[in-house]
Structure 1
């Protein structure tokens, strides 16, 4: 079935331990803020082995075709964050963004000229969540019909639970959705 997912062309995770001291301090600070002041409908956390690789899960906004869906993806930070923008990808099929493709957003590495070093992980994810609800075309976006988006929302939990990475990073969702606690022995 499903194994660990590869990143799209043009996106690579910098090696663990390659982050600058400024990047480590900033990402640790952002993680602390996210845990102390969580954002409704957004869960994100760094890979415990590499602070430059973050996994997020966005809950579909109410009163949109995405309602009821949960959308998993990755934010890959550069070694010199916050001075360089991250790459952002979406893994869960959704009808708004292509999967496993770098997304073209003003908050991503597609537009380094518009990057603001003051933007936090929270701001990046809120921006992504907001952009998901818009219909503006951009590289990495798709134009699924509202019905297609609703259909994908209805199967998003099942899709996510198939992947070892998702189960590892979001065991609380897997338990809530399936009643089972993911273990390292779960087979893909």
Structure 2
């Protein structure tokens, strides 16, 4: 009975989250297991996570919504350890603070809020803004290696591929633009002399012309 209740409630939450999305977050359950949801946080522009995509998962117990889910982060991010249960007031680490009225949207909103803070907890790590920005940059390629990410979030996969191509374009050196020729065209004879003998040959020709003029 409890599993049936959990599935029924999660279906309702899925409809709700599709109708009213959580800012900066998308979420999808596994087609084969409604008790395991995967989410992706888009780093807010006013944070060191800007430009990053952070994949994680929620694992719901059969007793949901009467018991809270386990929360994991999969993409390296500089705030949480990866693939480790996170100790949050909305996770299974604190069943005493859990409220059965809280939905998947509530859980994800709380997760993002805690991610943007610096409060330490079990499963959190310390890093500076510079390191977080580096994780944000690297998250694109990291997520493309994750089959579940690519399967559940095809639009984000396309977005990541486009970003990789953009980076390749930016990394290429700009084309060399040759300066326009500003020197005057030399007479054919002078040009020929410069080509075959350089300045020395040109000097001999001038000397020859001067001698010819004196003989006249």
What TM-score do the two structures reach when normalised by structure 2? 0.73
Q: Which has more radius of gyration?
A: 2
Instruction: Pick the structure with more helix per residue.
Output: 2
Structure 2 residue corresponding to 1:69, chosen from 52, 55, 64: 52
Matched, 1:173 2:156: yes
Which residue pairs with 2:202 in the alignment?
Answer: none
Which residue pairs with 2:180 in the alignment?
Answer: none
What TM-score do the two structures reach when normalised by structure 1? 0.84
Number of residue-to-residue matches in the alignment: 163
Any runs of at least 4 consecutive aligned residues in structure 1 with deviations exceeding 4 A, and if so which?
none
Distance in 2 between the 1:82 and 1:131 partners?
Answer: 21
Partner SS, residue 32 of structure 1: helix
- Measured at CA, do residues 123 and 159 of structure 1 come closer, stay the same or move farther in structure 2, by a change above 3 Å? same
| Runs of 5+ unmatched residues, structure 2 | 163-216
User: Is this contact kept in 2: 1:19–1:52, CA < 8 A?
Assistant: no
Matched, 1:96 2:70: no
Which residue pairs with 1:11 in the alignment?
Answer: none
Distance in 2 between the 1:31 and 1:169 partners?
Answer: 14
1:91-130 correspondence to structure 2 within 5 Å: 91-130=74-113
- Measured at CA, do residues 135 and 31 of structure 1 come closer, stay the same or move farther in structure 2, by a change above 3 Å? same
Query: C-alpha root-mean-square deviation of aligned residues, in Å?
Result: 1.4
- Measured at CA, do residues 19 and 166 of structure 1 come closer, stay the same or move farther in structure 2, by a change above 3 Å? farther
| Larger RCO (alpha carbons 8 Å, 6+ apart) | 1
